[in-house]
Homo-oligomer: A and B are copies of this chain.
Amino acid sequence: MANKNPLEITDKDEMRNWSRSMRAQGKTIGLVPTMGYLHEGHLSLIQESHKQTHLTVVSIYVNPGQFSPTEDLSAYPSDFLGDIQKLKSVPGGVDVIFRPRNLYDYGNKDDGVGGGVGWDQEGGKVVSCVEKSGMEHETWVRVERLEKGLCGISRPVFFRGVATIVTKLFNIVEPDVAVFGKKDYQQWRIIQRMVRDLDFGIKVIGSELVRDDDGLAKSSRNVRLSPDDRQKALSISKSLFKAKFAAENGQIDCQELRNAVIQAVHEAGGKIDYAEIVDQESLEKLEEIKRPAVFCVAAWFGNVRLIDNIEINV
């Protein structure tokens, strides 16, 4: 199939109208939500969408609602022109690039420049998820059990922001299928649960994690690693591979498996946020691996927080 020139849409009504007109023609629509700075991991999500639906929408939106004031929203990398090139070159192409400007601006008279969630009214720049007064955004979707562990401990507003923006994107794009990366394992499970609990008529697909040749999990944040830290960060994937091998050969004690990973990352100079072995669906902590598990790690190298995980099916 020749590559298509994707339609670029910024207006949410125009986006919904496009979807409805395509549906009226019997076409099915896949949505791949991204925050841009695309890499091969994202492109694999698009290819997954191609398998499922006639048409694919890729959204590019750095969501202020999922960053706390102390987090790296302003440092989040961005390269829209590069993203467009990548989306044109992905096999099969994409049909729509949905790039809204501000999904929390409802045009209220009493708002400042940006309106909505945590806009810095001085510079018109997104800074955090803090709520303000008046007529601004105040509706949040929470997946109350799954949001609490793993990344939810150090990032308490993160999954509230993710569930809310995904709900908004679902309601704007109205897709048949949405594809999420298993790199963000907890996020994927949270979206699955949300879709079940809120009865969205949408199928959620989890797409396999993609790694660089040396094993580092692909992430938009990797670009912020120094060459030295990038080398050190390999300790995460290397120790996870070892843990999986050990577990599949009978070493099912989670404390011992966790200690080995924590030690490897620590010795490489990383700072562990968490290293947990949990049930693949409920994300409850396990003491022994006797059912399908996933080993999830978050660690800092320099000022970059990386996450990685590996499924273990003994």
B-binding segment of A168-176, A220-228, A254-262, A288-296? A168-176
Produce 1/0 per residue, A118-148, CB < 8 A to B: 0000000000000100110111111111100
Produce 1/0 per residue, A79-100, CB < 8 A to B: 0000000000000000000000
Question: With contacts A131-B144, A141-B141, A142-B140 known, is A167 near B198, CB below 8 A?
Answer: yes
Contact A134 B16 (CB under 8 A): no
A242 surroundings in chain B (CB, below 8 A): none
Contact A139 B134 (CB under 8 A): no
Asked if A164 lies at the interface with its beta carbon under 8 angstroms from chain B, I say: yes
A313–chain B nearest beta-carbon distance, Å? 19
Q: Which chain B residue shows the least CB distance to A168?
A: B199
The 8 Å CB contact of A137, one of B139, B142, B197, is B197
A265–chain B nearest beta-carbon distance, Å? 31
Q: Which chain B residue shows the least CB distance to A140?
A: B142
Produce 1/0 per residue, A171-203, CB < 8 A to B: 110100000000000000000011011111100
A27–chain B nearest beta-carbon distance, Å? 12
Distance A146 CA – B140 CA, assembled complex (angstroms): 12
Distance A169 CA – B92 CA, assembled complex (angstroms): 36
Asked if A76 lies at the interface with its beta carbon under 8 angstroms from chain B, I say: no
A196–chain B nearest beta-carbon distance, Å? 6
A249–chain B nearest beta-carbon distance, Å? 30
Asked if A312 lies at the interface with its beta carbon under 8 angstroms from chain B, I say: no
Interface centre among A131, A145, A172 (most CB of B within 10 A): A145
Asked if A230 lies at the interface with its beta carbon under 8 angstroms from chain B, I say: no
The 8 Å CB contact of A199, one of B135, B171, B194, is B171
Q: Which chain B residue shows the least CB distance to A12?
A: B199
A140 surroundings in chain B (CB, below 8 A): 141-142, 144
A196 surroundings in chain B (CB, below 8 A): 106
Asked if A282 lies at the interface with its beta carbon under 8 angstroms from chain B, I say: yes
Distance A171 CA – B199 CA, assembled complex (angstroms): 6
Contact A174 B197 (CB under 8 A): no
Distance A313 CA – B138 CA, assembled complex (angstroms): 26
Distance A196 CA – B151 CA, assembled complex (angstroms): 29
Produce 1/0 per residue, A202-232, CB < 8 A to B: 0000000000000000000000000000000
A197–chain B nearest beta-carbon distance, Å? 4
Q: Which chain B residue shows the least CB distance to A139?
A: B197
A144 surroundings in chain B (CB, below 8 A): 131, 138-140
Question: With contacts A24-B24, A134-B282 known, is A198 near B139, CB below 8 A?
Answer: yes
A310 surroundings in chain B (CB, below 8 A): none
Chosen A-B contacts, 11 in total, with CB atoms closer than 8 Å, are: A16-B201, A131-B144, A138-B146, A138-B193, A139-B141, A139-B163, A140-B141, A140-B144, A167-B198, A168-B198, A171-B199
